[in-house]
């Protein structure tokens, strides 16, 4: 099995479409395990999502290169694949739109996952839980942390995506340490009897 590598998002032109496609690829899987209501319909069909994702990729690249603007970093997980290899169990014809790039040494890389990491930021659904004493005590007014806003893998890539989440989490920790942060936070959907967090 190929080793998962993590690179900066925004350095390859297809990163924004890849992220949208990865989100879309999760919908059938979530429905199959009883968690379909987590995200509902395809992201590519949600008003503004494609444009917002493209904008986030631009913001991430701007922050990476200038450290100015919104403190957002996007990382993309990828694996090296043989030129003729299509992800199992699908053929290339069944999986249109998989995102590849060829690096300087000729290695072909397949994008398999992405993470959005934000500095000193909390989403509204977490802030809305500040009525819970433990959450408020831990997070209200806190700084010096990174938050994993998004962690998604592309289900179309089959077995190639195995290890993408772990590699992206490891990179989020490294990024936080590089920035001198003291904590990393992530949350998960609690629906479907919390099966996604077990």
Q: Cα 100 from chain centroid?
A: 17
**pLDDT number for residue 35:** 83
pLDDT in tens, 91-112: 443 456 799 999 999 899 999 9
Note if the pTM is more than 0.85. Answer: yes
pLDDT in tens, 172-186: 999 999 999 999 999
95 CB-side CA count, 13 A: 21
Q: What is the DSSP letter of 32?
A: H
**pLDDT number for residue 95:** 55
**pLDDT number for residue 190:** 77
Residue (of 84, 154, 148, 92) closest to 122 by Cα position: 148
Sorted by where each starts, the structural domains of the chain and their CATH numbers stand as 4-197 (3.40.630.30)
Residue (of 186, 176, 175) closest to 150 by Cα position: 186
Structure tokens at 67: 């450290």
Instruction: Please check the confidence at residue 146 and state whether its pLDDT lies above 90.
Output: yes
pLDDT tier at 90, thresholds 50, 70, 90 = very low
Q: Is 53 exposed, middle or buried (0-12, 13-18, 19+ CB in 10 A)?
A: buried
- Assess contact for 139 and 149: CB atoms under 8 A: no
pLDDT tier at 187, thresholds 50, 70, 90 = confident
């Amino acid at each position: 099995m190929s080793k998962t590598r993590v690179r900066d998002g925004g350095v390859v032109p297809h990163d924004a479409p890849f992220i949208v496609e990865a989100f879309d690829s999760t919908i059938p899987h979530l429905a199959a395990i009883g968690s379909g209501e987590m995200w509902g319909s395809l992201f590519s069909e949600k008003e503004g999502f494609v444009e917002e994702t493209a904008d986030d990729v631009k913001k991430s690249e701007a922050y990476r290169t200038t450290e100015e603007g919104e403190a957002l970093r996007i990382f993309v997980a990828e694996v090296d694949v043989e030129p003729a290899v299509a992800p199992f169990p699908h053929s290339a014809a069944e999986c249109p739109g998989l995102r590849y790039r060829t690096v300087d040494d000729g290695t072909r890389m397949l994008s398999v996952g992405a993470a959005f990491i934000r500095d000193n930021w909390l989403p509204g659904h977490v802030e809305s839980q500040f009525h819970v004493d433990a959450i408020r005590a831990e997070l209200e007014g806190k700084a010096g942390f990174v938050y994993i806003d998004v962690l998604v893998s592309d289900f179309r890539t089959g077995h190639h995506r195995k290890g993408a989440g772990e590699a992206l989490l490891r990179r989020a920790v490294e990024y936080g340490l590089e920035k001198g942060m003291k904590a990393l936070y992530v949350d998960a959907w609690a629906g479907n009897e919390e099966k996604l967090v077990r």
